[in-house]
Structure 1
Amino acid sequence: MLRRRDACLLPLALAGAWAWGDDGKLPLRIGWSDYPPFQRPGPSGSPQGLDVELLELLAVAAGERLQWLRRPWARQMADAAQGELDLIPSATPTPERLSFAEFTQPYRNERVALLGLAGTAPLHRLAELKGRPVKIGFIRGVAFPVAVRRELEDPELQRLLQPLYANDLTLSALRGHRVDYVIDDPATLLLRAAREPGQALEVVLELAVSPVHLLVSKRVLEARPDLLARLNQGLQRARHQAEWGQVLARYPGL
């Protein structure tokens, strides 16, 4: 649990109520989307979830404030490139993203898997789908781990890929038979499926477990060149606090 002082600060941060702080620093604008259990709307509309809790601990340890701004995932990257967002959680480095951002040390791991409707035959590798009349959905704007990206560069697999334009479309696309498979973090997709009536889903093929980072826009680093180091130092301090382990314990299996 958060210390009493930090718990008092958290609702203000999530509501985006901070302007200039006592130290003269603006809050850091951080994007979020409906991505349970990592980010999701709380009862008041403010975000909650694993990423929110961990990154609030990191921010307090770094002496920073966060202003959470809801954005579709694909839009967050453009906003960070243009300087309209300072931070993006749950991010994977890619050459394209490194042109407009830098990345903190990883703060958690995530799984990447191929999922289908319950009863879908399991696979041993993605290459088994080549030549089949199937579609593989993925969220537009996501970046997969290097090993998965390399496999998907195969032209025969490229022809099967179907971009989806929001996190919440993966489930409806599968159940509506607009795609046959989805590549996603199984934790979020299976959670959605359990909460919404309809056919169950299952993991067809585990693809990777990879670290995710906090993306830091180069626009904010121009004004605050020490920020990346401050965030990394805050992460190291937060990891050694009892609250960090307590947060992770509230999300078993992640």
Structure 2
Amino acid sequence: MSLPRRSVCLLPLASARAWGAGTEIAPLRIGWSDYPPFQHGTAGEPPQGLDVDLLEMLARASGERLQWMRRPWARQMADVARGELDLVPGATPSPDRLVFGDFTQPYRQERVALLALAGEPQALRGLSDLKGRAVRIGAIRGVAFPAAVRRALEDPELARLVVPLHANDLTLSALRSRRVDYVIDDPSTMNWRVAREPGAAVQVVLELAVSPVHLLVGRPLLAQRPTLIQRLNQGLQAARRQPEWAHVLARYPGY
């Protein structure tokens, strides 16, 4: 069956609107969750935070647009694998994630620490000191830790102490309610919550790692745009050369 001449002429235009150059390019669907100061906001409003500011700069320098879509952290990975999201910010590489996505160059650093309520006696040299103790370690479900932390938690004696927390905003409440004795998290997000939610203070017990984080790009999108990671990496380098990049980091002490 042949198509009318007008329909044939419109096919390249439709393709360009989906994946073409310039202003017609489709926005990249990127997940965000309640993870201050990196990503935070209220339902129905655009998100704010360090990741949002940096990645909007990266996108502009790459000639891309971002469509921010709120998702729980664990769901973001599943949605990328299904092609329902294109990007996940603040992602740490891990072997299982390479099955459904690939990573840009890192765009910032993230601290990983063991935290507990302040004022309680703590004398730990490493996570292995917790083996054999009647304690619970909260960890956000779906998080990939840096390799050294991941290997430590694979020890069966430690693995059975881990309590999955189903959202980023549960780390502080789990500690204060004593559902867990420790949590593994970035101290920046914990301190942000402590400053805004009255109650017991929290302290860093062990600094576990400083880890680079990346944009995870889903393989369904890369199958259609195989040079996208190169394009985003070039945009990242261009964005870092702009004075505004340093200005953004200055608004978030420690980064």
- If the length of structure 1 is used for normalisation, what is the TM-score? 0.90
Equivalence for 1:227: 228
**2-side partners of 1:23 and 1:35: how far apart?**
30
Q: Which segments of 5 or more consecutive residues in structure 1 lack a partner in the other structure?
A: 1-18
Q: CA deviation at 1:44?
A: 6.6
Q: CA deviation at 1:112?
A: 0.1
AA at the equivalent of 2:118: A
- Alpha carbons of structure 1 residues 241 and 168: separation in structure 2 relative to 1, 3 Å: same
Q: CA deviation at 1:43?
A: 9.5
Q: CA deviation at 1:190?
A: 1.6
Q: CA deviation at 1:180?
A: 0.3
Conservation of the 8 A alpha-carbon contact between 1:120 and 1:204: no
Equivalence for 1:129: 130
Give the alignment of 1:101-112 within 5 angstroms: 101-112=101-112
Q: CA deviation at 1:46?
A: 1.2
Q: CA deviation at 1:120?
A: 2.7
Equivalence for 1:87: 87
Q: CA deviation at 1:45?
A: 2.1
Equivalence for 1:189: 190
Conservation of the 8 A alpha-carbon contact between 1:115 and 1:184: yes
Equivalence for 1:118: 118
**1-side partners of 2:44 and 2:154: how far apart?**
42
Cα deviation, 1:113-158, whole Å, max 9, x if unaligned, reads: 0000011333221111111100000000000000111111111101
Higher-Rg member (1/2): 2
**1-side partners of 2:97 and 2:73: how far apart?**
14
Bigger mean CA offset, 238-247 vs 38-47: 38-47
Conservation of the 8 A alpha-carbon contact between 1:33 and 1:40: yes
Equivalence for 1:9: none
Cα deviation, 1:44-79, whole Å, max 9, x if unaligned, reads: 721010000000000000000000000000000000
- If the length of structure 2 is used for normalisation, what is the TM-score? 0.90
**1-side partners of 2:151 and 2:168: how far apart?**
23
Give the alignment of 1:66-77 within 5 angstroms: 66-77=66-77
Cα deviation, 1:26-53, whole Å, max 9, x if unaligned, reads: 1000000010000000697210100000
Conservation of the 8 A alpha-carbon contact between 1:139 and 1:164: yes
- The answer as to 2:140 corresponding to 1:139 is yes
Q: Which segments of 5 or more consecutive residues in structure 2 lack a partner in the other structure?
A: 1-16
Equivalence for 2:203: 202
AA at the equivalent of 2:227: D
Instruction: Give aligned-pair identity as a percent.
Output: 69
Q: CA deviation at 1:241?
A: 0.6
How many pairs were matched up? Answer: 236
Give the alignment of 1:26-65 within 5 angstroms: 26-41=26-41, 45-65=45-65
- Secondary structure of 1:113's aligned partner: strand
AA at the equivalent of 1:49: G
- Secondary structure of 2:248's aligned partner: helix
**2-side partners of 1:22 and 1:245: how far apart?**
27
- Secondary structure of 1:48's aligned partner: coil
Cα RMSD after superposing both structures: 1.5
